[in-house]
Amino acid sequence: RKEVEQDPGPFNVPEGATVAFNCTYSNSASQSFFWYRQDCRKEPKLLMSVYSSGNEDGRFTAQLNRASQYISLLIRDSKLSDSATYLCVVNYGQNFVFGPGTRLSVLP
Amino acid sequence: GAVVSQHPSRVICKSGTSVKIECRSLDFQATTMFWYRQFPKQSLMLMATSNEGSKATYEQGVEKDKFLINHASLTLSTLTVTSAHPEDSSFYICSARDREGGQGSKSLYEQYFGPGTRLTVT
For the stretch A33-91, pLDDT in tens is 999 999 988 888 889 988 887 889 999 999 999 999 999 999 999 999 999 999 999 98
Cβ count near A86 (within 10 Å) = 25
Q: How far is B95 from chain A (nearest CA, A)?
A: 10
The pairing of strands B117-121 and B10-13 is: parallel
pLDDT at B102 over 60: no
Tell me which chain A residue has its CA closest to the CA of residue B31. Answer: A94
- Interface membership of B34 toward A (CB under 8 Å): yes
Contact flag B115-A43 (C-beta cutoff 8 Å): yes
Nearest Cα to Cα of residue A43 among B119, B94, B88: B94
B53 phi/psi in degrees, rounded to 5 = 80, 0
Distance from CA of B118 to the nearest CA of A (A): 9
Mean pLDDT of B28-33: 86
Label residue B51 by pLDDT band (50, 70, 90).
Answer: confident
- Separation in Å, CA of A27 to nearest CA in chain B: 17
- Which residues of chain B neighbour A100 with C-beta distances below 8 Å? 42-43
Residue A65 in contact with partner chain B when CB distance is under 8 A? no
Strands (E) in chain B, as ranges, are 4-7, 10-13, 19-25, 30-38, 45-51, 57-58, 67-73, 76-81, 90-98, 111-113, 117-121
Q: How far apart are CA A101 and CA A104, in angstroms?
A: 10
Contact B20, B79 (CB under 8 A): yes
pLDDT reported for residue B106: 53
A43 with B113: Cβ contact below 8 A: yes
Q: What is the pLDDT of residue B105?
A: 54
pLDDT digits (tens, 9 = 90+) for B55-81: 899 999 999 999 999 988 889 999 999
- For residue A98, give the chain B residue with the closest CA: B44
Query: Which three-class secondary structure state does DSSP give residue A78?
Result: coil
Name the helix (H) or strand (E) containing A49. Answer: strand A45-50
CB–CB of B74/B98 below 8 Å?
A: no
Residue A96: which pLDDT band, with cuts at 50, 70 and 90?
A: confident
- The CA angle A103-A45-A92, to the nearest 5 degrees, is 95
